[in-house]
Structures are given as structure tokens and as C-alpha cells.
Amino acid sequence: VSPRPFQVRELLIALNRQARTPLAHQLENQLRDAILRGRLASGQQLPSTRMLAEQLGVSRGVVLRAYAQLGAEGHLTLRQGANPLVRVVGVPGPDILSGVHDGDGPRFRYDLRPERPDLSQFPRGQWLRSLRHALDTATDAEVGYIDSRGLRSLREEIARYLARARGLAVTANRIVITGGSTHALVLIERVLVRQGKRVIAFENPSHELLHTLSRRAGLEPLGIPIDDDGLLVDELRRSAASAVVAAPAHQFPIGLTYSKERQLELLRWADETDSLIVEDDFNAGFRYDRAPIGAIQGSAPERVAYIGSISKTLAPGLRLGWAVLPASLVDDVAGELEGAMQHLPALEQLALADFVRRAEFDRHLRRLRGIYRKRRDLLVRTLRNELPQYPVRGIAGGMHVFLELPSVADEANAWARARQAGLGVESIGEHALAGYGGPRGLLIGYGAEHERALIRAAHELAGAIRESVGRGDKPRPLTHLA
């Protein structure tokens, strides 16, 4: 069924009654301009002469004359007893923004980018039920201006969920609902900038996006090396940074988990130097072989700002996440959010609260874990069969693996070859900060592609790597990470 033609009711026309140009000419010029510049699209219905005359406070004759002229020029299709239709001939002009940047990102034959969830798994039916429930039950106050930290009912559900599933020490009043974990990070960083901080430490490598956002927020990201046990805390001490972003449960992009010893060392550093750890727990729900390790926030809630979101578990487009904050940061972070947008949209918050309360979130996660585990197994098996000489790392959780290659040049060649073939992999180099000297290789996501496509993609990728990587070199073991 084709949609009914869109009838334009809101049309910006400004007539100047003092001008010498007759009103009908002014109207005709402005309509022509709107059509030529692409502000009015082909097939749109303009208002009837009576309605537009009324809206502009002119006689119907003025509108009739303007429409007749544009009809004669071919810009409008005039129809007896019906509203005129816009007719665009050729390419619309520069006022239309489509095609500037559609924000959908690059297109690949196979999307093997790390940490891309399978968006076809988004539980639309269950979400709709929660959204409907939200609309049915929202009080007037809940659709007015709400607490800038977010709706209390959602903060309570998230607090309960994080306490039971991730071991957090948390109450609703320590939570700020944000537009994702990156938003949470940026809000915290703005507060740090206000406190006079200039630098923020990161594991090296770590996600390039977080580095870019930090720079925009006014902080210089400083890379701290990691080894098999996690971030090298001695290096952090030497750096004089007083805030660090870390992902102890599942480091991106290497995929390692911090040893207990290293977690304690990191917490000691924060205590002794009065510093802040931003714990990025963006994908901790996905561990396939063992139970996930708890968040370090649970051991030091006044030293750790914990950030997370539903981007990997539900969908990034919903833009919902949270920060769990030390008492000293709650008001400042909520204030930063309030300054930009008052608070996150309330209906989605109510829907998420309902979704978690009805245990749909738990059920959905369990289902996804099964799906991603199968994909991981398929990918790892194919890579190990086809490329036994290169270690496959970071397989315990998340939605990608790290295929270690012998050298920087091999990484670059393999990446270029893979991209040429339409395989959307990433490389370690894309996520490295200055001074990186650790292992190199490709990051291969298994979240977004279905099983059969994933196997085909893995075979093609193996071929691309065999063609591009120098033979005979021994890959460097992970213990040389630092």
C-alpha cells in the first residue's frame, strides 16, 4: 500500500506588504525557491488556495495567480478540485541535507567490526509491550521535567540489576541515567576538566572512539601499557595522571581480564593518589565459558565511576546507559547533563524499567549469549583450522576476537587486503595511543553476521591474510604485551 501523499500544512512564507512587488509575485517567488532548493519535495501536496489564503491573510486570488504561474512553469501539477502537487525536475538544490552524512557508517560485504551487536535480535515485540505499558501508566509528572539523574523507577531497577548481576555497591541516588556509556564518560570528563585536569589515562590499546571523545572534552588521552594481567599500575603511577579509564572485566580490544592481584593494585593506586577509576563495563554481560568477573566498583564505590549501557544488549540506537558515581561526583555529573539536555527522554526510561522489572532483560541476555557463543565457536574454529600459525586471543567474552599477526606491516597489509575484499575488520593500530609497542593483528567481530555468513566471511578473511602476510615469521606471544 503506498502512503497517502504528504500534505504540507506548515509552510514558511513571509510576505512583505510594504514592498513594491505584488503579493502574488512574492508568493510565487518564494514557492519556486523552496521547490528549486529542495525544501519542498516531489509529490508533496500544497495547501488548497482557500487554506493558504487564510493562513497568509491574503485573498484567494493572490494564491490562485501564484499557483497558476508555477503550474505554467512546470513546478506544480494543478488538478481540478484537488490540491496542487509539487513537481521537482532534475536534482534538488543545496538546502536538503540528505547525503551529507547519513551516520550509518561504512558498508561492507561482511560486517566484521568488533563489538557490533546483531540488531536483528532486538526484541521489538517485548520492547513494544514495555513502551505501551510506559504510555499506559506514566503519570503526568513522569512526562514533565524530571530529575536530571533520570526517573527514580529506572534508577532503582538498574541499581538492583547491577548489584545482583555485576556485584556493584549501588543505590538509586548514585546513578545518573545517560545516553550511553560514551555519554557517561564525556559527562565525567567535563567535570574533571572543570576541576582543572588536563590528562586522562587509558589502557593502551583501548577504543579509539573514547580517545577522540576525551580530546573533544578537553583531556589528553595518555596510553598506559598492559600485560596479561591488565594495566601496568607502576606506569600509571609514574604518569602522574589522576584519572584512568579501564575495563577490568573485559579489556577492549585485547579481550583480557584483569587478575585479582592487578585489580587490587589499581584500587590501591586510586586510594594512595586520591584518583578516579572510570570502569568501562560496556559489554561485561557477554562471557561464554565462565561466569563474568564482578565489577571492581563493588570493592571501592568512592574511587570508581562505573559506566555501562544497553548498546550491546538491546540496541545502541536507544541511547540509554548509566553512570554509577562516587558521592562526590553525582551532583556535578547530573549538572553537566542538565546543562545539555535537562534529562534523558522519560518514556524510554519507563519502558526500560518495565523491561528489566519483568525479567525480559535477563531472558534476552541469556538468549543472546547462546547466539554469540555459537558464532564465536564457529569463527574461532575456522580461524584456527585455516591459520593455525596465528594465535586467536580474547575469546572468553565480548563480540570479537583478536587474531595476532607477526608485525605492524603484516597487520596493515592484512587489513588493507581484507577491506579491499569488503570484509569490515579493524586493526590494533586503529585503537593504539602514542607509544604503543605491543602485539599487532586484526580485530574480527562475530556479533553482527549470522552463522553461515560468518563462516563464509572467515574463509575469505583467512584467504586474504594468507595472501598478504609474510610467511615464516613467528607471531609474538601475548606475554610481550608491555
Q: Could you say which of 123, 230, 321, 397 contacts ligand PLP (CB under 6 A)?
A: 321
The residue within the footprint of ligand PLP, chosen from 309, 313, 349, 413 (CB under 6 A), is 309
State the minimum distance, in angstroms, from the CB of residue 319 to ligand PLP. Answer: 7
CA dihedral 227, 229, 235, 239 (to 10 degrees): 110
Rounded CA separation 15/422 (Å):
53
| Residues facing residue 204 across a β-bridge | 225
Q: Residue from 47, 84, 123, 180 that binds ligand PLP (CB under 6 A)?
A: 180
Is position 181 an interface residue for ligand PLP (rule: CB under 6 A)?
A: yes
Residue 446 touches ligand PLP, criterion: CB under 6 A: no
Q: Is residue 264 a contact partner of residue 231, using CB atoms and an 8 Å limit?
A: no
Site for ligand PLP in 245-284 (CB under 6 A): 252, 280, 282
- Tell me if 313 contacts ligand PLP by CB under 6 A: no
Select the span of 12-20, 87-95, 180-188, 473-481 touching ligand PLP (CB under 6 A).
180-188
What letters, b where the CB count within 10 A reaches 16 and e where it falls short, cover 21-60? eebbebbbebbbebbbebbbeeebbbbbbeebbeebebee
Binding to ligand PLP (CB under 6 A) within 7-66 occurs at none
> Can you tell me which of 190, 207, 262, 393 binds ligand PLP, judged by CB under 6 A?
207
Query: How far apart are CB 28 and ligand PLP at their closest, in Å?
Result: 48
What is the β-pairing status of strands 199-204 and 220-227? Answer: parallel
> CA–CA separation, 417 vs 431, rounded Å?
19
Angstrom distance (rounded) from CA 201 to CA 224: 7
Residue 8 DSSP code: P
Please choose, out of 181-189, 215-223, 413-421, 469-477, the segment that lies near ligand PLP by the rule CB under 6 A: 181-189
Cis peptide before 84 (omega within 30 of 0): no
- How many of the chain's residues bind ligand PLP (CB under 6 A)? 13
Q: Using CB under 6 A, pick the residue from 126, 182, 214, 297 that binds ligand PLP.
A: 182
Closest CA to 119 of 399, 349, 354: 399
Each residue 212-231 as x (binds ligand PLP by CB under 6 A) or -, in order, gives: --------------------
Binding site for ligand PLP (CB under 6 A): 115, 180-183, 207, 252, 280, 282, 309, 311, 316, 321
